[in-house]
């Protein structure tokens, strides 16, 4: 009895792969091409997130002028400056249970009515 094995395609070039059923690539060339592409995508992802975090930090830094330890800003204002709320380096909860989101040493606490309290910490 002949068991039909499903046709498998190379993950790199999408041509059908002949040989062992667990084979994923035509050859080493395709394997390397595929792995390099994955690595490049990973690098891009890391770079984009790093850029977003740095931008968030810069925005908070701009809002917090040198002499102030904290200041209020509207969420809308942050968004207009290009702040991306989904990216932060860590969170901090104070004794009252208020959770701050930080981008490096700058952070914010979400307040009522879409206001944010921007703060800077010396030690992280």
d(CA 71, CA 103): 16
Least Å distance, CB 34 to Zn ion, is 8
Contact between 13 and Zn ion per CB under 5 A: yes
Angstrom CA distances, 105 to 25, 39, 76, 98, stand at 46, 30, 22, 17
Least Å distance, CB 26 to Zn ion, is 3
Structure tokens at 88: 């932060």
Count of Cβ atoms closer than 10 Å to residue 15 Cβ? 11
Contact between 111 and Zn ion per CB under 5 A: no
Q: Which of residues 30-59 bind Zn ion (CB under 5 A)?
A: 30
Count of Cβ atoms closer than 10 Å to residue 24 Cβ? 14
Contact between 26 and Zn ion per CB under 5 A: yes
Contact between 73 and Zn ion per CB under 5 A: no
Contact between 117 and Zn ion per CB under 5 A: no
Instruction: Tell me which residues touch Zn ion (CB under 5 A).
Output: 10, 12-13, 26, 30
């Amino acid at each position: 009895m002949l068991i039909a094995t499903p046709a498998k395609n190379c993950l790199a070039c999408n041509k059908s792969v002949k040989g062992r059923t667990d084979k994923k690539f035509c050859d080493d060339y395709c394997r390397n091409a595929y792995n390099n592409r994955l690595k490049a995508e990973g690098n891009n992802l890391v770079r984009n997130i790093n850029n977003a975090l740095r931008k968030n930090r810069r925005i908070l830094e701009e809002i917090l002028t040198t002499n102030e330890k904290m200041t209020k800003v509207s969420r809308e204002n942050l968004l207009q400056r290009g702040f991306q709320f989904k990216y932060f380096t860590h969170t901090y909860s104070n004794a009252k249970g208020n959770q701050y989101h930080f981008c490096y040493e700058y952070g914010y606490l979400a307040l009522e009515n879409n206001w944010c309290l921007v703060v800077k910490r010396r030690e992280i």
